[in-house]
Amino acid sequence: MPLPMIALAALLMAALVLWRPVTPLVLLGLLAPIGMTQLPASLDVVTVLSGLVVVAAAWEALIGRASLLPTSAAALAASIWTLGVLGSVAFSDDLARAAVLGTWQILAAWTAIGISVLARTEQRMQVSVAAVLLGASIVAGSGVIDGVSSRGAFNGSVVEGRAIGVFSQPNEYGLYTAMLWAFSLVLACLVHSWLKWLAALCSVLSLAGLAASFSRGAWMGAALAAVVMAILVPQTRRPQTIGLAIGLGMLSAALVIVPFWQLPRLLLDRVLSVFAGGTNPYDNRPALMAEGLREWQENLLFGVGPNMYPVQSRSLASETRTLEGQHAHNLVLTVGAEQGIVGLVALGVFVAAVVVAFSSARRFALGRDGADIHRVPLGAAVTMSAAAALVALVGAGVVDYPLRNALTRTTAWMFIGLALAGHRSLRYRQDNQQARSIPEPVH
């Protein structure tokens, strides 16, 4: 792209940010299908949009005369995360390699904070969530349209025919669809506007993509999210029961019609091979997890550095040199190995902030404190839906770590931001209600 065109595009985007600060957030959701398209300087679309979200949030804080210092638990977590990443990069054996992913890790955390600022009102939240659902529906549908046939297996690892959509490998697509399925399902059960039907469409497409990905970690994450939401969000029980009955009915009918169908055996092999070594080196999770623990012990505080697990796993001190491991196949172990205790502490503070937000939103969904169970505020619905997506991430993180991909990583942090934005929206709503309930002075 010629330099004048780049400059013109930058000026137009700057004008949009100044005019409507929520624009980058809307584009972040809407342009997810082309999120990994490479731009000049080896930047992808989703990374550039994440940066614009942070800039727009900072600009809005400045014009609103808000403090740029961390004043919330989430902002404190992002600050700890940033300092931890900088320390991890500084102590890594390959400064340049670690600095690249480290920069994106810092940007992702502050993107979550930026989203919580930009989407804090119901009007902004509605358009932002609609953009996320539209973009996600296209991403999920891309994997379904490409094909869902499963033609082969290698000791539990499907090596051909797995849906990948716009991603480079099926586990990334699987985690993305698992998070979006949980998010859109809960949202469809809680809202009663036109968003309900858009969320329902996204839920169906995401579920189809999730099944076609044959990603065991994503399946586990979706299953955990389904169970947790069935327990904590009663509105999801009936749709989940109906969906499960339809799915089992279709599978049973297929087995009767095609008695020698290999899919059930393939599914069983995929599940049973999760914690087994097998003959496929990449599936040797016990060894790769042990390697993650070894690397973590090298530097408990800061870890070996972002994206340094693959390098350290090929070192002379490693027993997994021939396995070509890219990560520890576990969220906690990979973050611990690469970012140490500081990184895990920051994640813990983020988790605590989301749990507090979810607890507050759940009171509205259950009709407590005088709330109408049939008219759940959008802020509460978005917070609970985003929390469901994060539960899917945690479940998948037990056996996998597909967050190297820019789109999947940004989407995960986006849900943290939406959960926090919903909480801020509820507090703003409560403050307004309390202000209206105060009687005017009689003169």
Domain assignment of residue 9, yes or no? no
Q: Please answer whether residues 114 and 57 qualify as being in contact, where contact means their C-beta atoms are separated by less than 8 angstroms.
A: yes
Please report how many Cα atoms fall inside a 13 Å half-sphere around the Cα of residue 314, on the Cβ side.
6
Q: Which two tokens stand for residue 171?
A: 């586990």
Q: What local confidence, expressed as pLDDT, does residue 195 receive?
A: 94
pTM score of the predicted model:
0.88
Q: What local confidence, expressed as pLDDT, does residue 152 receive?
A: 41
Q: At residue 410, does pLDDT exceed 80?
A: yes
| Number of folded domains that form the chain | 1
Q: What local confidence, expressed as pLDDT, does residue 266 receive?
A: 61
Domain assignment of residue 57, yes or no? no
Q: CA 80, CA 23: separation in Å to the nearest integer? A: 28
- Which range marks the domain in which residue 213 is found? 73-433
Domain assignment of residue 17, yes or no? no
Domain assignment of residue 104, yes or no? yes
174, 173, 179, 271: which is closest to 225 by C-alpha? 179
Domain assignment of residue 419, yes or no? yes
Q: How does pLDDT run across 262-305, given as a tens digit for each residue? A: 555 566 666 665 555 554 555 677 778 878 888 888 889 999 99
Q: What percent of the chain has pLDDT over 90?
A: 47
Domain assignment of residue 62, yes or no? no
Count of beta carbons in the 10 Å neighbourhood of residue 40: 9
Domain assignment of residue 157, yes or no? yes
Q: At residue 26, does pLDDT exceed 90?
A: yes
Domain assignment of residue 306, yes or no? yes
Query: Could you give the 3-state DSSP secondary structure of residue 159?
Result: strand
